Structure 1
Amino acid sequence: MHQQQVYVVDDDQGMLDSTLWLLESVGLRAVPFASGQAFLDSYNEDLPACVLLDIRMPGMGGLAVQDALRERGSQLPVIFVSAHADVPIVVRAFRGGAVDFIEKPYNEQLLLDSVQRALRMNSRPIASGPQAVDIRNRLAQLTPRERDVLLPLVQGYSNREIAEQLGISVKTVDLYRSRVMKRMQADSLPALVGMAIGTGLVAPFGLQAL
């Protein structure tokens, strides 16, 4: 029986070392790589594993690595960890099959929880799993105005743009945005975007409302 392992791909040596320490502190086997190509040359598809993948790296970036994995037909769960979490990048990551997108500097327990979920996951997409049912229940509990704010928020509009669209103040948008994040139990904008895509609220291509 092979031990579960986590591939960690990050060109920042300090971040790489701290992530390895964190994973190994809870008994996980962590395998480091300083570049995307080095990881692609060495990973083993047959082992129970997931990969923590940085977005911006010299040479081959994280999204290019994800594309290469998909072209190979890989089923390896991908978790992105990045300080660069604008909506287009997050959307492309989830569209490519990422199971999570965590912003740096990350909360250690959130990262560990995400890794454990990735290691347990099967091949079912979120839209058909029990997690999607839970998220849809949260969506159903949003007020009409909260839902009005949620949609442009996950489409990448700024608070000011949302305020102009809805004819309300930026301060009011801030209030509703906070409520949406709390009700959806989303600890970050990438997490909220992933929920919206995974449950079919928006389409990943262009983020059109469905």
Structure 2
Amino acid sequence: MSPQVQQRVYVVDDDQGMLDSTVWLLESVGLKALPFTSGRAFLEACDEHSQGCVLLDVRMPGMGGLNVQDAMRTRGMQMPVIFVSGHADVPIVVRAFRAGAADFIEKPYNEQLLLDSVQHALSHVPAAAQSDPRLQLVQDRLASLTPRERDVLLPLVRGYTNREVAEQLDISVKTIDLYRSRVMKRMQADTLPELVGMAIAAGLVDALQLRDASR
């Protein structure tokens, strides 16, 4: 992974004072900070080939951070997302992490904590995203998944059983079986370990934090 890719951080916050101070903090340690005052402006400026990580405020006028995260996922944008918010209630945090957030930091934030989180996220950006056509194919398949299929994919590749996933999503095991079959077909995976490998390669999950996925 090149240093240029590692240093790019997109900062999305409608609070101009907070935006300016965050940009200053990132640039003070040599990172490239790109500021946006709205989620729509950020989405208009980036595409699935953009690299780096995103610092994203949760509550913004027009389009909140969670909706921006959903739009990124739909468009196949694989950049790690770090949420920064003064409203870190449990349902918001759970939804953010279920959708793949790298971290969730409360305002007012500790500067070193934020910098450590950014550096960690940048170090886990998929290195071969632009150079390995196989990984690009995997990312294209991930982008084709519906939100519900994505909801099923993430716990499956983390090692949860169909019954456990059904309990998490409050739907029947039979429905999970159907979604699992659809996910396998869309991802063109013949086995669950193959699917897990794809998820790890795309940076969706950490190989060191998986449960035993054997069935």
Same fold by TM (over 0.5)? yes
Distance 1:51-1:71 versus aligned 2 partners, 3 A rule: same
The more displaced of 74-83 and 41-50 is: 41-50
- Using the alignment, how far apart are the partners of 1:88 and 1:128 within structure 2? 22
Q: Percent identity?
A: 71
Aligned equivalent of 2:55: 52
d(CA) in 2 for partners of 1:128 and 1:107?
Answer: 33
Cα distance in 2 for partners of 1:45, 1:22 equals: 26
Question: Of the candidates 71, 74, 92, which is equivalent to residue 68 of structure 1?
Answer: 71
Task: Give 5+ residue unaligned stretches, structure 1.
Answer: 130-197, 201-210
Residue 64 of structure 1, CA deviation: 0.2
Distance change in 2, residues 1:74/1:39 (3 Å): same
Residue 119 (1) aligns with residue 114 (2) = no
TM-score normalised by structure 2 residue count:
0.56
TM-score computed with the length of structure 1 as normaliser: 0.58
Sort the Cα spacing of 1:53 and 1:199 in 2 relative to 1 into closer, same or farther, 3 A. Answer: same
| Aligned AA (1:39) | F
Give every structure 1 segment of 4 or more consecutive aligned residues whose post-TM-superposition deviation is greater than 4 Å: none
Q: Is the 8 A contact 1:79 1:100 kept in 2?
A: yes
The answer to whether residue 67 in structure 2 is matched with residue 79 in structure 1 is no
C-alpha distance after superposition, 1:67-94 (max 9, x if no partner): 0001112211000000000000000000
TM alignment of 1:88-167, pairs within 5 A: 88-122=91-125
Where does the alignment leave 5 or more consecutive residues of structure 2 unmatched? Answer: 127-153, 159-208
Please tell me whether the aligned partners of residues 79 and 125 of structure 2 are also in contact (alpha carbons under 8 angstroms): no
Cα separation, partners in 2 of 1:71 and 1:128, compared to 1, 3 Å: closer
Q: Taking structure 1 as reference, are residues 92 and 49 closer, same or farther at Cα in structure 2, changes over 3 Å only? A: same
How many angstroms apart in 1 are the aligned matches of 2:125 and 2:22? 24
Cα RMSD for the two superposed structures: 2.4
Say how many residue pairs are matched: 131
Report the CA distance between 1:45 and its aligned residue. Answer: 3.7
**Displacement after TM superposition at 1:128 (Å):** 8.5
